Amino acid sequence: MSVDPISLEVFKHLFASAAEEMGLTLQRAAFSPNIRERLDFSCAIFDADGRLVAQAAHIPVHLGSMPAAVSAVLSVFQRIEAGDVVILNDPYRGGTHLPDITMVSGVFVEGNETAQFYVASRAHHADVGGMSPGSIPLSTELYQEGLIIPPTKIIARGERQEGLLSLIVANSRAPQERLGDLEAQLASHRIGEARLQALIAAHGNARVQGHAAALIDYSRRMTEAVIESIPDGRYTFQDALEGDGQTERDLPICATITVQGRQMTVDFTGTAPQAAGNLNAVEAIVRSATGYCVRLLATEDIPVNHGCFAPIQIITPAGSLLQPRFPAAVVIGNTETSQRVVDVVLGALAQALPDRIPAASQGTMNNLTLGGMLDGEAFVYYETIGGGHGASPAGDGLNGRHVHMTNTRNGPVEALEYVLPIRVREYRLRAHSGGAGRNRGGEGVRRVYEFLTDAQVTINSERRLRRPYGLQGGEAGENGHNWLIRGEQITELGGKVTLRVQAGDQIAIETPGGGGWGAVPI
């Protein structure tokens, strides 16, 4: 078996295409708009040791956390058998937050009783129970956020565990939608397993395994080269989150990056202790965000796999916001805290590479969940909303787009209005919300929802008080706003709020603009 640059490139695309086809299957078979329209899911391929081999270009926050899920599965089940599918969502055992349900299954070839590869899918389910519709509540402990699923076989030796499936579905406010989305994940696994089996049949197990290992080594060397391009030194930056839904006090996140040759250490010592509310983020999320920032520096595409993370050491203090102790609430650590980790790591790297790093983007996912009853049937929905990208040395920031740790689409108005008792009254860019500079930050958006029936709404958002920073003389982007419009009365809401709305009420969400880059020419 030999590996050369051409064969490595071919296998890179073969592995990635298997993950991409899993994703297409999941999208097309899913029931919920969040998966089908917004593409809030990821699919990946792992080797026999549980090392990431390829991940489709789906959700960046899953980059470092999908491997944690596979590791958790292999620690619980020393042997995955043919026909097994393991399901989990526990953030403290391989998950990110409870709405993200992960499945892991083995890929077997004839004559070998051990898995040669593993395939995994992770999809954000619109409701998994908990104290508010959409399962993104203003929680103070994990138990309030929904059903906790430790690594458990949902299919054992090809036999579906109907009791477990019924239990999961029964804990959702939209049971038929949950069932449909879970079936879509299972379908994606059948595709992933079949594609890898076909790959092994065509090229031989040894050749496929050898190219997977070579690809991991290739990504490691490319990442080391990126780190080597950063001047040796020690770079520190700090930013803060704006309260955890329980108190309004700032929660600082501090990163000190030490670069020495081809190795990087990112130390988050100085970060706030774990919060009483829902902003805590498990370590796998921090690893995802940090690895993502390093990949941004590459001038060539680095294949996404285990090798991307090997040269990066990450230190998160135990009991902190970035390594909380069970059962701390974590539901928007996955969305909001991950974004701030990116802002902090990029802020530190800007000291080392001032002519390469962009200004801060909107720094939030603007989480909106809603639910209620209509004609005796429950409805529930979750979406995140785009905003402004930070400007960079290369040009202005993009307008009204998802940034950094989310790679989803903005929810189409037609899809929302078709399945929900709401009308979207406004959806437009926020003029002049991007920070001024030689290159201007991208614009945020204004999105106004009118409710046609009573409902419960929860908003978890950031950058409502602290504006996205500009760099190299550029100005900060405008902060976001959340409003309740009831008749002639307009009330500004906080960044994190849950409330009951009545038929005819409107919720307006204005997302932040990106920071500007470079001083405005005189």
CA angle 65, 96, 422 (to 5 degrees): 125
Residue 119: in which H helix or E strand, if any? strand 117-124
Are the C-beta atoms of residues 45 and 36 closer than 8 Å to each other? Answer: no
Would you give the distance in Å from CA 218 to the centre of its chain? 25
Q: Distance (Å, rounded) from C-alpha 376 to C-alpha 378?
A: 7
Radius of gyration of the chain (CA): 22
pLDDT digit of tens for each residue in the chain (522 aa)?
688 999 999 999 999 999 999 999 999 999 999 999 989 999 999 999 999 999 987 677 877 789 999 999 999 998 899 999 999 999 999 999 999 999 999 999 987 899 999 999 999 999 999 999 999 999 999 999 999 999 999 999 999 999 999 999 999 999 999 999 999 999 999 999 999 999 999 999 999 999 999 999 999 999 999 999 999 999 999 999 999 999 889 999 999 999 999 999 999 999 999 999 999 999 999 999 999 999 999 998 899 999 999 999 999 999 999 999 999 999 999 999 999 999 999 999 999 999 999 999 999 999 999 999 999 889 999 999 999 999 999 999 999 999 999 888 888 999 899 999 999 999 999 999 999 999 999 999 999 999 999 999 999 999 999 999 999 999 999 999 999 999 999 999 999 999 999 999 999 999 999 999 999 877
* Residue from 505, 471, 463, 474 nearest 488 by CA: 505
129: Cα within 13 Å, side-chain hemisphere = 15
Query: Angle CA(317)–CA(237)–CA(510) in degrees, nearest 5?
Result: 100
- Report how far apart the first and last C-alpha atoms of the chain are (Å, whole number): 62
Spatial neighbors of 447 by CB under 8 A, at least 6 apart, are 385, 424, 426, 427, 508, 509, 511
In angstroms, rounded to a whole number, what is the distance separating the alpha carbons of residues 125 and 138? 18
Q: Helices 338-352 and 283-296, interaxial angle, to 10°? A: 40
Give the position of tokens 């709404």: 457
Cα dihedral: 296, 301, 304, 310 (round 10) = -70
